[in-house]
Amino acid sequence: MAGQSPHVGLFVTCLVDLMRPSVGFAAVKLLQAAGCAVTVPAAQTCCGQPAYNSGDDEDARAIARRVIAAFEGFDYVVAPSGSCAGTIKVHYPRLFAGDTDMAKRAEDLARRTHELTSFLNDVLQVTDSKAEYRAKVTYHDTCSGLRELAVKTAPRALLGGVKGVELAESGGAETCCGFGGTFCVKYPDISGHMVDAKADDVIASGADVLLGGDLGCLLNIAGRLKRRGAAVGVRHVAEVLAGMTGGPAIGEGEG
């Protein structure tokens, strides 16, 4: 692959696709700036995690089969989400544990799949950034990214290259925000308390902006901060790294 630009298939993720497409474009920009050729397979919808985490293995497998097929042949598959990348990387092989042929294909995809910041930092070893973002930010380590993929230093290293960013770590950066996919709608009272504690922690950090790498968590935290009337913006880390922070932060209006 030396000398050639790596061909990356972008796994957009369903939440970015539906809720915040700008994160997808930020990811494309970052990957292209790092010298990748980016393709977005049209046959993608979701990684299947909602089915997988709900015990619906049959649908999870059916969806996984499509993802595996859609992303065959790329040098790398990159997702702007630790959660979706984790599903593909860690859980797809488990889903097909009893099926040698599919397991092999799942393993192959797993090997090629990366979370966005980890791919940029650890695989491509991107160091320079042309972005500038004058803000005091705090970083939320999303659970799947942190614990399934060990994404911890990559986003911080990349943010270190962004001019103007001041990082204010919060005490509970690694504590779950209470999103948990379907958890937040199945157990809204518990989830509500958890995200409230997360909001306390974010506010206590003194940051102007909370960044993270998973839109599910960010929607959850932004929604709670907004409900509390807190003046902390929430953005996906890709937006800042790509210098695409012109639009409103998550949950903020244009008006």
Partner 1 sequence: MESTSRTFEDNARKALIDADLRRALTKLGHGFPVKRRMAVERLPEFEGLRDAARAIKEDVLENLDFYLERFEERVVEQGGQVHWCVDAAEANQAVLAICQEAGARTVTKSKSMIGEEIAINEHLEANGITPVETDLGEYIIQLRGEPPSHIIAPAIHLSMDQVTETFRQCHDGLAADRELSEPRDLLEEARAILRQKFLAADVGITGANMLIAETGSVAVVTNEGNADLTMTLPRVHVVIASLEKVVPTLEDATTILRVLARSATGQETSVYTTFASGPRRPGDSDGPEEFHVVLLDNGRGAMLGGDFHDVLRCIRCGACLNHCPVYGTIGGHAYGWVYSGPIGAVLSPGLIGLEEAGHLPNASTLCGKCEEVCPMRIPLPKMLRHWRTRQFDRDLVPPASRAALKGWAFLAKRPALYRAATGLAMRLLGALGRRRGAFRRMPLAGGWTAARDLPAPEGATFMAQWSRRKGARP
Residues 178-237 that bind partner 1 (CB under 8 A): 178-197, 219-220, 222-224, 226-227
3-state secondary structure of 167: strand
CB 201 within 8 A of CB 189: no
CA 5 – CA 210 distance, rounded (Å) = 33
Asked if residue 16 binds partner 1 (CB under 8 A), the reply is yes
Q: Compare residues 48 and 155 and give the one whose CB is closer to partner 1.
A: 48
Q: Which of 165, 176, 207, 241 binds partner 1 (CB under 8 A)?
A: 176
- Taking contact as CB under 8 A, which single stretch among the options 118-126, 158-166, 176-184, 238-246 is the one that binds partner 1? 176-184
Q: Which of 6, 48, 213, 243 binds partner 1 (CB under 8 A)?
A: 48
User: What are φ and ψ of residue 37, in 5° steps?
Assistant: -90, 125
- The footprint of partner 1 on this chain (CB under 8 A) covers a number of residues equal to 76
The helix/strand count (H/E) of the chain reads as 14, 8
Cβ neighbours of residue 224 closer than 8 Å, sequence gap 6 or more: 192, 195, 196, 198, 199
Asked if residue 161 binds partner 1 (CB under 8 A), the reply is no
Asked if residue 12 binds partner 1 (CB under 8 A), the reply is yes
Asked if residue 64 binds partner 1 (CB under 8 A), the reply is no
- Taking contact as CB under 8 A, which single stretch among the options 52-60, 100-108, 112-120, 203-211 is the one that binds partner 1? 52-60
Q: Which of 6, 24, 155, 243 binds partner 1 (CB under 8 A)?
A: 24
- Taking contact as CB under 8 A, which single stretch among the options 60-68, 96-104, 106-114, 158-166 is the one that binds partner 1? 60-68
What's the min distance (Å) between Cβ of 120 and partner 1? 19
CB 135 within 8 A of CB 210: no
Q: Compare residues 3 and 253 and give the one whose CB is closer to partner 1.
A: 253
Asked if residue 59 binds partner 1 (CB under 8 A), the reply is yes
Q: Which of 5, 32, 57, 230 binds partner 1 (CB under 8 A)?
A: 57
CB 220 within 8 A of CB 179: yes
Asked if residue 87 binds partner 1 (CB under 8 A), the reply is no
177, 164, 172, 255: which is closest to 220 by C-alpha? 177
Which ranges of 74-187 would DSSP assign to H, the alpha helix? 82-86, 92-95, 100-112, 116-118, 143-149, 153-160, 183-186
CA 18 – CA 49 distance, rounded (Å) = 16
Q: Is the dihedral of CA 221, 224, 227, 230 positive or negative?
A: negative
What's the min distance (Å) between Cβ of 33 and partner 1? 17
Strand duo 76-79 + 132-140: pairing: unpaired
- Taking contact as CB under 8 A, which single stretch among the options 106-114, 138-146, 206-214, 236-244 is the one that binds partner 1? 138-146
